[in-house]
Amino acid sequence: MQEEILRSLVWTDYRLALLFAVIVPLILLIWAFVKKADAMVRLLIIYWRVSSLLAITIYILIAAWPIGFVSGFFARVLIPISLWFWVDINEDIDDQRQRPLKLAFTAWRWAVSVYGTLGALASLPFLSCAFSPGAIRTSFCQVGLEPPLLFKQYFHPNSRPGFLAFIGVSLLLIYVLYLSYFVLIRLGKQGRSAMEQ
């Protein structure tokens, strides 16, 4: 019974992620681009850069590599931060007059921030899958691997899981290097301004 509840929660989480992290921001990006809402476009481009960690996580989890649970947790933490961090973008968006685009964008921004924060808290128990030896083989951790395996079935049916995870880890390394460069070098130069983004 508990495993069924857990499975239901995991699948609900993935469905919400598809809605809030992929479909809605893609619609908003197209809408903001058409309406020439530059600040929103800039923030959504930053969002897509940061949220790419979610896609990287799925590729790593396809092969049941424990590091995927860690990258998934950090993706949920970094996404809300990236949406509110930039002072200049926040001011530009606040200065815009109230329109349907601004209302939709603001609603999504709050929704994905709440979703990301609650998701990070809910994923804390899954970190044991990454740090406890052999935990990845437990039924608890296996439930967390079901959605990535279905993704593989749909989009990469003939690919080996190890190869897909290798791609994921390679992209994770690039992501970490870029994030380190941003935090250690660019952040000191540009502060909380996204003008150089």
Place of tokens 């309406």: 35
Q: State yes or no: pLDDT of 3 exceeds 90.
A: no
pLDDT in tens, 58-103: 999 999 999 999 999 999 999 999 999 999 999 999 988 889 999 9
**One-letter identity of residue 182:** F
Tokens of 81: 């931060």
CA distance 64 to 60: 7
pLDDT in tens, 134-165: 899 999 999 999 999 999 999 999 999 999 99
Average pLDDT over residues 29-43: 96
pTM above 0.85, yes or no: yes
141 neighbors 135 (Cβ within 8 angstroms):
yes
Judging by beta carbons within 10 Å of its beta carbon (0-12, 13-18, 19+), is residue 190 exposed, middle or buried? middle
